Every structure is written in structure tokens, then in C-alpha cells.
Amino acid sequence: MANKKYTQEFKDSTVQLALNSEKKTSTIAKDLDLNLKTLYLWISTYKKVNNIPTKTRKSFQEPTRKESLCYKMKWWLRDKQKIV
């Protein structure tokens, strides 16, 4: 497949469409005969240039002391019930 060159205007309008449309990004890419990864790259670049926050995966957070104690108490009660 040959590399295609797209104007910055086309990239920007496509990104705007992807960000503001109810359509899935994959549908937009397919409709415009674009590789989905290319469109995601354009969106990512646009967001970086314009300081738009991106969604990030939630990282693992250590449980709070209260959550940890609650978890231990549930296990203790569960084990206690098995003995009786």
C-alpha cells in the first residue's frame, strides 16, 4: 500500500469530526478510507499540540487502611463461619 500525503487542513477537520461526532472513530476512518491507527495518531498529536487532556488507564491504587481492614474482617468472618 502506497503512502498517502494528507493536508494539515484535512487532518484537522478529520480530527474535529472524530472528536465531535457521535460516530465511532473506526467508522469515520473506514468512511474516509483511512487506517484506524493513522487517525488515532492524528488525534493524539492534535491533543498534545492543543493541550487537550487524554484519557489514561487507571493505574492500580493501594487500598486505604479502612478498605484493607474491611477486607480482612470479611475473610475472618468467613473463616469463622466455616469452623462453626
What pLDDT was estimated at residue 4? 77
What per-residue confidence (pLDDT) applies to 13?
95
Counting as low any pLDDT under 50, the low residues of the chain are 1
Determine the CATH number of domain 1-54: 1.10.10
pLDDT of res. 14: 96
- Decide: 19 and 43 in contact? Cβ < 8 Å: yes
Kindly list the domain boundaries of the chain, sorted by start residue: 1-54
Q: pLDDT at position 11, please?
A: 96
Share of the chain above pLDDT 90, in %: 52
Q: How many CA atoms lie within 13 A of 19 on its CB side?
A: 16
pLDDT of residue 71: 80
Q: What pLDDT score was predicted for residue 15?
A: 95
Closest CA to 4 of 31, 34, 24, 40: 34
Burial of 18 (0-12, 13-18, 19+ CB in 10 A): buried
